[in-house]
Amino acid sequence: MAAPYGNKNAEKWSIKRAINLFNDAIELTNETTTQTLIKGVEKREVEGYEFDFIGEVARELGTFHEIFRHLIKRFPSLSRKYNVLINNLEQNCYSNTKKGFIREATGIVNLKSNHKWTDRQDLTSGDKELKSLTEEKREERIRELKDKLGIK
């Protein structure tokens, strides 16, 4: 069924247009630029990647970052291009952070928020309910461990 006449919310994406958007986005992730970094009295030129965050790529292309996920749902064949885009951005962010091209804190926030990086092991319950031991059970377990270890 076609959208009603005058509907401005009708889907406007074709597979060809979506492929072009992904290709343009991936191309942007390969662009480099140079910055002069100053540390104390030392100046140095550092080459880094122009884009390391999907929101910046989307803005440059005149769209919003959620469109990429929407398009891979609509056109699953674009999943590989999406993965290339995200992997390039992750690598760019790490490289730019390592070189001092972007601030460490910014890089860490980007990698944690957008690429699921962590700086520690997950020592939580993993959303499982934790049951507390009664005093009696706790004492019983301590006795069992002491017996196993030969401690009195």
- Give dist(CA 51, CA 58) in Å, integer: 10
- Give dist(CA 39, CA 9) in Å, integer: 51
Q: How does residue 1 score in pLDDT terms, banded at 50, 70 and 90?
A: very low
For residue 55, what are its two tokens?
């929101």
Q: What are phi and psi of 107, to 5 degrees?
A: -60, -45
Which is nearest to 37 in space by CA: 101, 81, 82, 80? 101
Say what percent of the chain tops pLDDT 90: 47
Q: How does residue 65 score in pLDDT terms, banded at 50, 70 and 90?
A: very high
| Mean pLDDT of the chain, nearest integer | 86
The larger pLDDT score, comparing residue 25 to residue 107, is at 25
The larger pLDDT score, comparing residue 48 to residue 40, is at 48
Is pLDDT at 83 greater than 50 in this prediction?
A: yes
Give the pTM: 0.69
For residue 107, what are its two tokens?
């890089």
Over range 83-94, report the average pLDDT: 94
Rg of the chain over all Cα atoms, to the nearest angstrom: 25
Over range 72-91, report the average pLDDT: 96
Beta-strand ranges (E) seen in the chain are: 32-39, 42-49
Query: Which residues, 6 or more positions from 72, have their beta carbon under 8 angstroms from its beta carbon?
Result: 78, 79, 82
Q: Which of 3-7, 42-46, 128-132 has the lowest mean pLDDT?
A: 3-7
Q: Which of 51-55, 107-111, 113-117 has the lowest mean pLDDT?
A: 113-117
Q: Which of 20-29, 83-92, 99-108 has the lowest mean pLDDT?
A: 99-108
